[in-house]
Chains A and B, each alone.
Chain A
């Protein structure tokens, strides 16, 4: 990395100097293209692949082609005859540049660029309600309302909270007596793209309060066309996740996730987009049972409306127990799907910003480019845009009046119409 950087840096500076010194403007333009290429490589090193592409396509491509085109068009390769009018400018420029270099060097070396660590990412917390007997709840963090009226199998949005310790309380809607209280500590981890945490309230019965599990949640970008799946067990007993494959073939059954204890979260290996989860099911655990078909199936994920895998998403499957009206319980699985955070510097991340917070500047730039295009056309138009002269129209009018006079049979405009000048006789010969 260091060696590559040094090579690119030397080439960049050398090509910039050569650009300044070369007498031929075409050579200068070509050296500038080399310099732009080096800068594009540096962008790649700085985690900015999208800008590296733009740099090559727009700068080294479009803009420099325009430069070369104009140089060739004007034949301006060697047009700089050195006039001696501003002879004092050269030493002044060198002195000014040296002064600027000194100031900038001092500012960078004495500044605190590298002493400051990268910013800590503000933690984001969401609370998932998977406690069947708690009813709808309001969620408070340190006494402040995070979200109100969160019902079972629902989750709050990700809420940004400054790093620190929090007391999360879940109160039944509109009341002040907490169903469950838990102390959590969120830290500003800078290594993760999105510093997200998920707290799941799960378990409990009519008499026992539910528990809350907090874990860092991974919504970071994944490889192209893949999705991230995590499973949280919110029931009171361990579960398996089994892919039963084809219904008629007992040999293609496989265990995706074995013996997930209550209150645990496990992230599955990345799955490709549009993976069919129709044959997946959560089952109970029976260590003695070797035939997977015999395991008690709790929930099948066979409803594609609810359970599906889409690319660039991070999905959390929460297994929970739901109390029914007749007093029995059954297991349910609800998916919490989030768009994954796009990788830093990629086209997706730039696009997400460009079309959300930066729409207005984007529009302004578009208008500016349009104005520049019109301006360039106006400036280079050969005659400029003068209004059309009036006598062109009059020339057409006069013969027309004559034609009308001939057709009517009398000179309608005889008083007003001056006679056309007599057409001069063609000179004899060729």
Chain B
């Protein structure tokens, strides 16, 4: 039986890696993937605590987070495609001005 603490630590490490990806990478698609990694890390913590407290509600929240992540990816990738069409680039440094 692996302790809950260990799972939460792993979840924190993955979350930090995801946050660093968001801050360091300039490719908009990679940025999105890092956000997914962070969401996954939080899901892992939720499931670990759900087992710790033997409460099923945590699983439900993870279910909802996955659904929201799917929606977010659909809209986000559509945005990236639209931006790429107008700018011919998905480097977020070139998108920092909110000009058409």
Q: Is A162 an interface residue (CB 8 A)?
A: no
**Cα-based distance from A76 to B77 in the complex (angstroms):** 12
Beta-carbon contact of B14 and A108 below 8 Å: no
| Residues of chain B in range 1-28 having any CB-CB distance to chain A below 8 Å | 1-10, 12-21, 23-27
Residue of A whose beta carbon sits closest to that of B54? A118
B-chain residues with CB within 8 Å of residue A81 when the two chains form the complex: 91
A-chain residues with CB within 8 Å of residue B64 when the two chains form the complex: 361, 365
**Cα-based distance from A358 to B48 in the complex (angstroms):** 21
How near does chain B come to A327, taking the closest CB pair, in angstroms?
A: 52
**Cα-based distance from A131 to B25 in the complex (angstroms):** 75
Beta-carbon contact of A380 and B54 below 8 Å: no
A-chain residues with CB within 8 Å of residue B54 when the two chains form the complex: 118-119, 121, 190, 344
Q: A54 and B63 in contact (CB under 8 A), knowing A13-B17, A380-B78?
A: yes
**Cα-based distance from A345 to B49 in the complex (angstroms):** 13
What number of A-B contacts does a CB cutoff of 8 Å give? 220
Q: Is A66 an interface residue (CB 8 A)?
A: yes
**Cα-based distance from A119 to B62 in the complex (angstroms):** 21
B-chain residues with CB within 8 Å of residue A104 when the two chains form the complex: 12, 15-16
Residue of A whose beta carbon sits closest to that of B27? A80
**Binary interface profile of B, 29-43, with partner A (CB < 8 Å = 1, else 0)?**
110111011001001
Beta-carbon contact of A113 and B4 below 8 Å: yes
Beta-carbon contact of B2 and A1 below 8 Å: yes
| Interface residue from A13, A45, A82 paired with B13 (Cβ < 8 Å) | A13
**Cα-based distance from A81 to B25 in the complex (angstroms):** 11
Interface size class of B (residues with CB under 8 A): 35 or more
Beta-carbon contact of B59 and A79 below 8 Å: no
Beta-carbon contact of A32 and B2 below 8 Å: no
**Cα-based distance from A413 to B70 in the complex (angstroms):** 59
**Cα-based distance from A2 to B16 in the complex (angstroms):** 23
Residue of B whose beta carbon sits closest to that of A13? B13
Beta-carbon contact of B71 and A113 below 8 Å: no
Binding-face segment, A83-91, A229-237, A250-258, A312-320: A83-91
Beta-carbon contact of A86 and B51 below 8 Å: no
**Cα-based distance from A32 to B16 in the complex (angstroms):** 15
Q: Is A292 an interface residue (CB 8 A)?
A: no
Beta-carbon contact of B48 and A372 below 8 Å: no
A-chain residues with CB within 8 Å of residue B66 when the two chains form the complex: 54-55, 58-59
| Interface residue from B14, B56, B80, B82 paired with A16 (Cβ < 8 Å) | B14
B-chain residues with CB within 8 Å of residue A209 when the two chains form the complex: none
**Cα-based distance from A44 to B64 in the complex (angstroms):** 18
B-chain residues with CB within 8 Å of residue A296 when the two chains form the complex: none
**Binary interface profile of B, 65-77, with partner A (CB < 8 Å = 1, else 0)?**
0111111111101
A-chain residues with CB within 8 Å of residue B14 when the two chains form the complex: 12-13, 16, 35
Beta-carbon contact of A35 and B37 below 8 Å: yes
How near does chain A come to B59, taking the closest CB pair, in angstroms?
A: 6
B-chain residues with CB within 8 Å of residue A354 when the two chains form the complex: 60, 63
Beta-carbon contact of B57 and A67 below 8 Å: no
Having A105-B12, A345-B50, one finds 12 other A-B pairs with CB under 8 Å, namely A1-B2, A16-B14, A16-B37, A19-B37, A46-B7, A83-B26, A83-B91, A85-B93, A93-B23, A101-B12, A105-B9, A353-B57
The 3 closest A-B CB pairs, nearest first, are A93-B23, A372-B71, A379-B78
Sampled A-B contacts (10; CB under 8 Å): A51-B47, A58-B70, A63-B70, A74-B81, A93-B20, A100-B19, A104-B16, A353-B56, A372-B72, A380-B82
